[in-house]
Structure 1
Amino acid sequence: MKFTQSAVLAFAATAVAAPSSTTREKPRAAAAACSSAVSLDASTNIWKKYTLHANNFYKAEIEEAVKTMDADLAAQAAKVANVGSFLWIDTIDNIAKVEPAIADVPCNDILGLVIYDLPGRDCAAKASNGELKVGEVSKYKSQYIDPIVKILKAHPNTAFALIIEPDSLPNLVTNSDLQTCKDSAAGYRDGVAYALKNLNLPNVIMYIDAGHGGWLGWDANLKPGAQELAKAYTAAGKPKQVRGIATNVAGWNSWDQSPGEFSKASDAKYNKCQNEKIYVTEFGAALKTAGMPNHAIVDTGRNGVTGLREEWGNWCNVKGAGFGVRPTSTTGTELADAFVWVKPGGESDGTSDSSATRYDSFCGKSDAYQPSPEAGTWNQAYFEDLLRNAKPQF
């Protein structure tokens, strides 16, 4: 690991890419929805009752991908289509995906949505910059959050799990020296608090993004990170439907590898969170002290293979990656509610074209898959690699 601790802290911003806005819409036939209003008890692990829904948009992408595969790989890919995953609502236009996604959710399933459109989004990474400019928090509230609230209220018989704004608050902890993050800070805090307050509905469970163990897991970041999240939670009025945090979103960290992937690095002594299991425990303790709910869901969508990255902060289209453990509430740790699939495997983290406007140098590193298209765009070859390297195999 070549980064010093300070370098890791500065660059550990994980750019996360949402589904392409051109994703084909293929809603399934209406499922057996609940006959009465859903009421989720955020003091309990709702994943023991509900199954993460396999949304129809990711299914459509995989059905298209299967067409060019050989028979054996196609058969495996077809199984991926039935794995529950989160749907990314990364633009105002993509709010239109929510209603069709609800159409086939049965009563024992929960629809996962990623709320991801803050002004000045991803202030420390170019690959997944958003549509709203710094200062447009009023537009974020009225044209993004409010319409989503209206839809969720209109479907009280459907259960929803929300991940609130990946990368936002963690960036304010570790990249506060960047002017772009300084400019975005007020909007992030205001926007996240507004989202938490207004999405606090009986049929909703919420998790605030908390980066991962290689980001806020550093000894120096645990307390400030927990305090940053807790401030947003408190500013929102401590909404009762907030259950805790989401970790490793679009990430690569192992759940319980021991010793950890970077445990032999020269600066490892400054980070005890060498896997996500330790991170959930350590950060959970810090959250409790800060006065915030501290249960977690962990993204295992692409962490089936470890030892691939040259440095812990490398986040873009890691070569050799494989699909990880399927969504389940069996985690072996009380603070970890569930393993879930958040990042749609096969959609690019960012382009490797150095001449592109949204090119980020992390996507040109030697451990990043090349060529790769723009963030959110389907990469067939990368999807097939994730499938071949899946652990466990499909």
Structure 2
Amino acid sequence: MRTTRPILRTALPLALTTGLTSALLLGSPPALATEDPVDALTTSLYAPRANPQAYRQADELEGAKRSREAAGLRAMARTPHAVWLAGRTPDEVRRETRAVVRDAARRRATPTLVLYNVPGRDCSLYSAGGLRDSAEYRAWVGAVAEGIGGGRAVVVVEPDALALVPADCPDGAKDTKDAKDAERVKATRTAARYAQVSEAVTTLGTLPRTKVYVDAGHPAWHTVDSIVPRLVKGGVAHATGFSVNVSNYSTDDANAWYGRLVSSCLAYVDKGGKASACPTQKWRRADARRWLDRHVPLDAGRMKHFVTDTSRNGQGPWSPPAGKYRDAQDWCNPPARGLGARPTTRTGDPLNDANLWIKTPGESDGECLRGTKGPKDPERGTVDPKAGVWFPAQALELVRLANPAIMPPENRVPGRGRDV
């Protein structure tokens, strides 16, 4: 799985409250003495201005007398989702972040911000990019922190950065031909990656009303004993917790269980245990629960929490046809997926602080080839848009197959208050 870069939009965001009343939003501490306690009680999640292509597609559907689908697309666009911070100079990202945080505050809402600019991002593949070195990244993260200031925010730090470190990249040192030197270069860049993420977590974690979650991939990627040491090196000790399933399709049940296991293993390691002894998502659940009861009883107040990306997991993961593709890329624009649970802080899980739409639904994962020469995606029969570009076919699939449903009932005309 690779996380895909969104389109960067400069228009001032809008906000949409979700009717949430959360006195301790995302596990936050009691309101500061200088903070209006009513504001803390009524804070909701924030919806930035949607991709303009979402409304253009909805207008086209309306013109074709497909009003239900148009209404579903508009509802998807209005749903709170994350603002991705990538590229831009420190001055630009400071201004952008400040504008988002201030607009959200005016609307008594909390924005979700995603840092996505670490050097060597995505092994220079589908979502290639990021800054050149640690010094540039340090200045850029500092500018984000200045933009947030004393405002309220949820920050997801660098999707995939720990799950896909330079040592994992097939060409992680392609600028050298000597095998031993290449391994040394990979090791140096991997150590730098951990330091970059850890410093970002620490910098943002000092902000008074910011909750920081460092990305932990998803349950079909790393096992618990593999990702936990990476989270530790990436500074999770200084974070509120971690994020799961960013830009992926794992089910709510799989994500919740993975989150519980990762959180428990972090607590176990913090007490001196070894990650290799922790139960993983591959264990029988009954065996894992017995281990947890014996070694790490659930104590949400002392454990790291997590947030879950439910933007596109309404139908769960895609199962590629057996033996059809050399590399099925099940993370890349899989067919017949649907929107998932709406963003909320009322998850019913003491460790899961929020279900969020972190990936912007409707934006492509990349030009998926599934091991073929292309240029078409063989599963869809079309050339998929580049990562972050609006994908009308996929957007419509997500709306049609949303679970829970997002389109209005068939016997109701969108925008009217009576059946027809």
Fold shared per TM-score above 0.5: yes
> Could you tell me which residue of structure 1 aligns to residue 57 of structure 2?
65
The answer (yes or no) to whether the contact 1:86–1:112 under 8 Å persists in 2 is yes
Deviations 1:127-157 (A, max 9, x none): 0011424xx1111112x1121111112xx2x
Aligned to 2:230: 228
Q: Look up the match of 1:139.
A: 136
Query: How far apart are residue 198 of structure 1 and its match?
Result: 1.3
Offset at residue 80 of structure 1 (A): 1.6
Q: Between 247-256 and 61-70, report the one with greater CA deviation.
A: 61-70
Instruction: Determine if the alignment matches structure 1 residue 287 to structure 2 residue 271.
Output: no
Aligned partner of 2:391 among 365, 379, 382: 379
Q: Give the match for residue 250 of structure 2.
A: 253
Structure 2 counterparts to residues 118-157 of structure 1, below 5 A: 118-123=118-123, 126-133=125-132, 136-142=133-139, 144-153=140-149, 156=150
Deviations 1:240-265 (A, max 9, x none): xx211100000000012xxxxxxxxx
Q: Distance in 2 between matches of 1:303 and 1:79?
A: 17
Q: What residue identity is the alignment partner of 1:73?
A: E
Give, as a single letter, the amino acid of the residue that structure 2 aligns with 1:66.
Answer: A
Tell me the equivalent position of 2:417: none
2:127–2:387 contact (8 Å) kept in structure 1 = yes
Question: Conserved in 2, the CA contact under 8 Å of 1:317 and 1:363?
Answer: no
Detail structure 1 runs of 4+ shifted over 3 Å in the superposition.
26-31, 38-44, 47-50, 176-184, 359-370
Aligned to 1:53: 46
Aligned match for 1:211, one of 210, 217, 220: 217
* Residues 82 and 113 in structure 2, CA contact (< 8 A), matched pair in contact too: yes
Alignment of 1:107-186 (within 5 A): 108-123=108-123, 126-133=125-132, 136-142=133-139, 144-153=140-149, 156=150, 158-172=151-165, 175=168, 179-180=172-173, 182=187, 184-186=189-191
Cα distance in 2, alignment partners of residues 72 and 194 from structure 1: 47
Structure 1 pair 40/131, CA: closer, same or farther in 2 (3 Å)?
Answer: closer
CA distance in 2, matches of 1:100, 1:51: 17
User: How many pairs are equivalent?
Assistant: 334
- In structure 1, the residue corresponding to 2:84 is in which secondary structure? strand
- Contact 2:13 2:100 (C-alpha < 8 Å) held by counterparts: yes
Q: Distance in 2 between matches of 1:362 and 1:198?
A: 43
**Is 1:16 aligned with 2:9?**
no
Amino acid at match of 1:16: T
Q: Distance in 2 between matches of 1:336 and 1:343?
A: 18
Q: Work out whether residues 86 and 341 of structure 1, in 8 Å CA contact, stay in contact via their aligned partners in 2.
A: yes
- Cα RMSD after superposing both structures: 3.4
- Relative to structure 1, the CA distance from residue 362 to residue 191 in structure 2 (aligned partners, 3 Å threshold; closer, same or farther) is farther
- The AA in structure 2 aligned to 1:55 is P
Residue identity opposite 1:210 in structure 2: A
Cross-structure match for 1:196 = 201
Tell me, which stretches of 5 or more residues in structure 2 are unaligned? 18-23, 31-39, 174-185, 271-301, 323-327, 407-420
Alpha-carbon separation, structure 2, partners of 1:320 and 1:76: 16
> SS where residue 212 of structure 2 aligns?
strand
Higher Cα radius of gyration: 2
SS at match of 2:122: coil
Q: 1:104 to 1:69 in 2, by over 3 A?
A: farther
SS in 2 for 1:73: helix
> Are residues 196 and 88 of structure 1, via their aligned partners in 2, closer, same or farther at CA, if it must alter by over 3 Å?
same
Identity of counterpart residues, as a percentage?
25
How far apart in 2 are the matches of 1:369 and 1:43?
51
Shift of 1:367: 4.8
Q: CA offset at residue 28 of structure 1?
A: 4.2
- Name which of 80, 84, 95 aligns with 2:76: 80
**Amino acid in structure 2 at the alignment position of 1:245:** F
Q: Deviation string for 1:320-376 (max 9, x for gaps)?
A: 11111101223232211121100001111112479xxxx998997655684211111
- Judged with a 3 Å threshold, the aligned counterparts in structure 2 of structure 1 residues 365 and 338 are, in CA distance, closer, same or farther, namely same
Structure 1 residues 165 and 361 mapped into 2: Cα distance closer, same or farther (>3 Å)? Answer: farther
The structural deviation recorded for 1:121 is 0.8
Match of 2:413 in 1: none
Shift of 1:296: 0.9
Q: Does the 8 Å CA contact 2:329/2:368 hold for their aligned counterparts?
A: no
Alignment-derived partner of residue 187 in structure 1: 192
Secondary structure at the counterpart of residue 190 of structure 2: helix
Q: Is the 8 A contact 1:299 1:343 kept in 2?
A: yes
Deviation at 1:177, TM superposition (A): 7.3
1:321 aligned residue (337, 340, 343): 337
SS at 1:314 equivalent: coil
Asked if the contact 2:218–2:244 (Cα under 8 Å) also holds between the matched residues in 1, the reply is yes
The SS at the match of 1:169 is coil
Counterpart-to-counterpart distance in 2, 1:83 and 1:199: 26
Judge conservation of contact 2:153–2:211 (CA < 8 Å) in 1: yes
* Structure having greater relative contact order (Cα 8 Å, sep ≥ 6): 1
- Residues in 2 aligned to 1:307 and 1:88: alpha-carbon distance in whole angstroms: 24
TM-score, normalised with respect to structure 2:
0.70
1:295–1:367 CA distance, 2 compared to 1 (3 A): farther
Residue 306 of structure 2 aligns to which amino acid in structure 1?
A
- Would you say the 8 A contact 2:332–2:368 is kept in 1? no
> Which residue identity is paired with 2:11?
E
Separation in 2, partners of 1:151, 1:279: 33
Confirm or deny that 1:342 pairs with 2:354: no
Aligned 8 A contact 1:15 1:122 in 2: yes
Deviation at 1:286, TM superposition (A): 0.9
What is the deviation of 1:24? Answer: 5.8
TM-score by length of 1: 0.75
